[in-house]
Amino acid sequence: MTQNVPRVLHDMQPTIADNTAVPAGVVWRLAEAGRQLDANVLNLPPGTVVEAHAEPDLDVLMVVVAGSATMDTEDGARPLLPGAVVWLPRGSTRGFTIGTDGLTYLTVHGRRPGMQIRGAGGVRRT
């Protein structure tokens, strides 16, 4: 198959139909060679708490597919329901409390560069 041809990569319908029947963790991951994006579908069980944290380097787009959660931000709590499209700007602090029906969501962001060894002052070593 030619790499630069649009194609369907994953069917989320079974997860949308019953996310409680899907194991916790990564449901799907974008793994195509030569991509410029990273994307994941994750499923978290009811009652999970994701402590407040910040992504220092990348903006992240999050799309709620199934379930619910409360997102805690510096501006207060925000309910997340299926269909919510959430922008998580780099450097922003957020935490999540997953609802009684779990949470399944898609994240998309620019691809992280490969791990690099850097010397003092951030200078890359080869």
For residue 125, pLDDT beyond 60: no
Residue 75 lies in a domain: yes
10-63 pLDDT per residue, tens: 999 998 888 888 889 999 999 988 889 999 999 999 999 999 999 888 999 999
pLDDT of 61 reads 96
Residue 87's domain comprises 26-112
**Which residues lie across from 77 on neighbouring strands?**
72
Residue 4 lies in a domain: no
Stretch 90-106: mean pLDDT: 96
Residue with tokens 């198959």: 1
Residue 106 lies in a domain: yes
57-93 pLDDT per residue, tens: 899 999 999 999 999 999 999 999 999 999 999 999 9
Q: How many structural domains does the chain have?
A: 1
Residue 36 lies in a domain: yes
Residue 48 lies in a domain: yes
Residue 84 lies in a domain: yes
Residue 92 lies in a domain: yes
**Predicted TM-score of the model (pTM):** 0.83
For residue 111, pLDDT beyond 70: yes
For residue 124, pLDDT beyond 50: no
Residue 73 lies in a domain: yes
Are 109 and 61 contacting, i.e. CB atoms less than 8 angstroms apart? yes
Domain containing 62 — which CATH number?
A: 2.60.120.10
